[in-house]
Amino acid sequence: MKTIFLILIFGMIFVSGCAKEKITLTVENLNDKQFTEGIYYEYKYSDEELKGLKDINVDLILNNLIQNNIKITDVWYKSYAASCCPPDTNRCMTAIVNPVFIIKLDEETELNNFIKINEPKIGWCAYAIAHYKIK
């Protein structure tokens, strides 16, 4: 729950800092999410980031992409976690939950630290995913 709160706080700071773009942030349960067709890119995490030893600053990365006129429509972010807590339960499973950071673009482009993917996947334990919509 603490992670969700931090995502919302940082997201609101990010949203307020991007005046020229209309950005909405929701936290969604995306287990079994099927993505619509589109152009998707996934962030290339370092080994430290994959192991949860170092965090990325999603808001800073998005702000840089927007400032560089990259036409982003949607963003999904799931942080690293050492447990998975299904909604409406008092139980959490001890597990490694890998981070995922996916962006959907209007057109193909070269991006540093991102790779183009054909089939975006959030992965398991996708109960609280930050979803940014950018218009």
How would residue 19 be classed by pLDDT, with cut points 50, 70 and 90?
very low
Alpha-carbon span 41 to 45, nearest angstrom: 12
Give the model confidence (pLDDT) of 60-108 as tens digits: 999 999 999 999 999 999 999 999 999 888 899 999 999 999 999 999 9
Give the model confidence (pLDDT) of 113-125 as tens digits: 999 999 999 988 9
How would residue 20 be classed by pLDDT, with cut points 50, 70 and 90?
low
Give the model confidence (pLDDT) of 31-67 as tens digits: 877 899 999 999 999 999 988 889 899 999 999 999 9
Tokens of 46: 């370092």
Instruction: State the CB neighbour count (10 A cutoff) for residue 2.
Output: 6
Instruction: Check if the beta carbon of residue 96 is closer than 8 Å to that of residue 50.
Output: no
pLDDT at 13 over 50: no
Instruction: Check if the beta carbon of residue 79 is closer than 8 Å to that of residue 10.
Output: no
Print the domain residue range for 29.
2-134
Which run of H or of E encompasses 73? strand 72-78
Q: What pLDDT is stored for residue 53 in this prediction?
A: 87
pLDDT at 17 over 60: no
Domain count, the chain: 1
